Amino acid sequence: MRAILASVFEGGSLEDGLNEAQQLATDGIRPDSLEDAIVNIINFALGFVALIAVTAFIVSGFIFILGLGSDASIQRAKKIMIWSAVGIFVIVFSFVITEFIVELATSSS
C-alpha cells in the first residue's frame, strides 16, 4: 500500500499516524511517574476550583445587579465577591507554589 504523506505540520505518513494512535490506544496515555500523576491531579483540581470561583464571582455580579438596590442582596453579593476574589488569589498562589515545588524537585534530579 502506498503511504499518503501528511502535509500538515510536516508530519510523517498517514500510516505512521495510525500506528501511533493504535499504540496510544493499547498502551493508554500514562504519566511517566507518580510525581507527574500527582502534579496532573493537583493542576486539574486547581483548574476546576478556579472555574467554580470565577462562576461564583459572576453569579454575585448578577445578584448585585438583580437585587434592585435591596440592602440585603447588595451585602450578600459583596460578601460573595470578596470571598470569590480571595479564593481566586489562593488558587493562583497554590498553582505558583505547586509549579515552584515541581521545578525545585526536577532541577535537583
- The answer, as to whether pTM is greater than 0.85, is no
Measured between alpha carbons, how far is 29 from 96 in angstroms, rounded to an integer? 26
Backbone angles phi, psi at 31, to 5 degrees: -70, 160
**Mean of the pLDDT values across residues 75-100?**
93
> Residue 80 is placed in which grid cell?
460573595
The pLDDT value given to residue 102: 83
Question: What are the structural domain ranges in the chain?
Answer: 1-30, 32-108
What grid cell was written down for 103?
521545578
Cα–Cα separations (whole angstroms), residue 105 to 30, 39, 54, 70, 109:
20, 12, 31, 52, 7
Cell numbers given for 22: 493504535
Taking only the tens place, the pLDDT of each residue in 27-54 is 665 656 777 788 888 889 999 999 999 9
